[in-house]
Structure 1
Amino acid sequence: MTNRDSSVFEKNQQTGVPSQPKNSELQRKNKASNNLLTDWDLSKFKVGQEAGKTRFHDLDLPLSLMHAIADLGFKYCSPIQARTLPYTLRGHDIVGKAQTGTGKTAAFLTTIITELLGNPVEDDYFAGEARSLIIAPTRELVMQIAGDAQDLCKYTDLKVHSLVGGMDYDKQKRRLHESLCDILVATPGRLLDFAGSNDVYLDRTEILVLDEADRMLDMGFIPQVRRIIRLAPHQESRQTMFFSATFTSEVMNLAEQWTVNPTTVEIEPESVATDTVTQKVYITSTLEKFELLSNIIDQDEVESVIVFANRRDQCRRLQEKLKSKGFSVGLLSGEVPQGKRVKTLADFKSGKLKILVATDVAGRGIHIDGISHVVNYTLPEEPEDYVHRIGRTGRAGKTGTSISFACEDDAFLLEPIEKLLGTKLLSQLPDKLLMPI
């Protein structure tokens, strides 16, 4: 037993936390990973070959993982999956450029699950030792990834844990110490909290994923990520997958530091803004914005809507004013406690809430099918955020509508958005929508 192993054992003895699952349990666990399949086999999941498409059948994935993929209805790989999986499944590092919603989460989770099932641990693992680590910039995104991981691991015994700020530390700690930690998904700050208190160890991490690196850079998390990476094995001794929506010089410099001879994959969307979203821009004044928003939401065709604003205080005031008019509305921003954010998202998904007011940072983790409208109450300062916002609607084969307000304060932000889109956005006066209904 190493000195570090000994200190973990002593700490757990003092605190009453189970020191570790016994090796016999580990062996049972690893064998059970492929023994939860009952009578299912690939004959129950038939997918025909199509020219230019890669089937999950073609990748020699574990049967337990294929069962979960079948349940989720995945038949053919998305472009980011088709181009990265042949490399990552062979252990290569990857640097991938892909927007939210392209399937990159399933790409790196498929790699992680396949690797962990194919290489069971042969010696003792302690509670809190993460075999794989996924770092993401926001709480919502962490929870989304962890949920996807649970779905893909449903026929295995792999254990998924998530660590985010704003939620009960002791509760997360108890969960972490109740079982092994095969897949750990975390925000940088909360992960450092756990590492600093010796509740998480990263020195045996086999696979490291950095998701939305550009967003972590924008949010100032890179110093924290550097500290986390210093706690993990050297890049020569781990597999690293690095994903970003943009490839700036700063992002590429980080990728070069943290990966070894990576394969670089760039997935450009067929169109920057999806063809399933109708985009509208209403020219209005600052004073008229709220009346215009209220009248839009009152329309019969508006089933569910996300309203984006740039600042927390703007979102808070909007939510309060909409609530005072009798609308069922929730708030998603960094100042809202995590427990309440989780409940708000659940209520929005279930239809209990018709309206969600959100900032860009919080909105990055929203992946909900069936959102009929997105309203940009204030135009985003970064053109890429416009694409992320309108991508919340028009998902899963459905159509959606994006409505942006351009007033005297932010109309100048339209030009860089149009440059990114490669097309002119038709601006119009709201006409009857500003007449009281």
Structure 2
Amino acid sequence: MAEYDYDLFVIGAGSGGTRASRVAAAHGAKVAVAEEYRVGGTCVIRGCVPKKLLVYGAHFAEDLKDAKRFGWDVPENLGFDWARLRDNVMEEVDRINGAYTDTLTNNGVDIILDRATVTGPHSVKLGDGRDVTAGKILIAVGATPIVPECPGHELGITSNEVFHLDALPKRVLIAGAGYIANEFAGIFNEFGSKVTLINRTDVILRGYDESIRDRLLQISMMKGLDFRFNAAFRGIEKQPDGCLRVSMTGHEPIDVDCVLFATGRSPNTEGLGLESAGVELDDKGAIVVDEDNKSTCDSIYAVGDVTNRVQLTPVAIREGQAFADTMYGNKPHRVDYENIPSAVFSHPPMAGVGLTEAQAKNKFGSVKVYMSDFRPMKNVLAGRNERALYKMVCNAETGQVLGLHMIGPDSPEILQAAAVAVKAGLTKDDFDQTVALHPSMAEELVLLR
């Protein structure tokens, strides 16, 4: 039997890599994890966590306006300090980075703060030149933002840099129409920036239910966001006054202070040396894996965004758990990818689980759709003309709930509990038999017509 430095060597200490490392070590494996940036990965360091904190900060813009209608004396000219919020958010990121590091250390995982590249089925090379061997190698390096190839693209930023802006830009152009684009559009708009989104097509949030994404578009435009559809980048030029002039197809050029690329994410496999071990990549650069996360090399596995299956943090965590339990814990299991809930932390937020109406019709032919289009009680008293929309898609014959989709205040918080019912295969009648919790927005789920 070959002797190796480690039973498991993990490349990437994000959500998936951290979970796999910790659990494998808890099962008795000798584990090392290499991370070239910071422990915690995209979600903790430059993704979901700092973004959600900015979302919370942005919500105060509307809450403070609404507070007057609820009896609170709020000054007319409220100031907002971007630097204070930015620094407080980064302080929280540092705290969580430390917690992740402590968790790994307390479980006996060796943390190597260096870049690691694959040199063979059982070997990696570190940035300092050291060679390390392992019985198994797990790739969990995530994905990286895509920057369009156009003149002046280096003048723009991505979601990696947006959390570190020196000052809040007065005019922001966001390229893209996915969840990252719409989330930052809402954030910047609430902070007082003039926001323009451009997209190559005329569809936002492709893959989400059409009714819900159309409602977000309607509300976003009502809030003052500017959308330019069927617009492809031509280039960015810096002007003498320091602003950025963006030219695009089908529209006039626009001058802004910041260009944010939110045009998708690509698996972070370039320069990783995977070809040395015969690891197959797909046409998007993602590692091809089987149901047990194994690549085309028997000793190399991969989890998370680098596999481009479902790019969500909780999915990466489950994949890391399944890998470690299966390989080292004598508890083989696989991730179930059916009915995974997801959310867009836009303003207002949207959330969904299961099949959209279009997907359900394609799969089952006949479906029943139930909807509630209502104005939340808080919005009524606040004088805010903004309506929520809840939608339930059911199998026409059995009544089983195939999908739940919603947009409105606290939608992600409400949907998490409702997703349990969809995952369990419950029916519309099960919802109808549940007594409403009144007064709440969530009660609309059991009152759908």
**Alignment TM-score, normalising by the size of structure 1:** 0.29
More strand by share: 2
**Alignment TM-score, normalising by the size of structure 2:** 0.28
More helix by share: 1
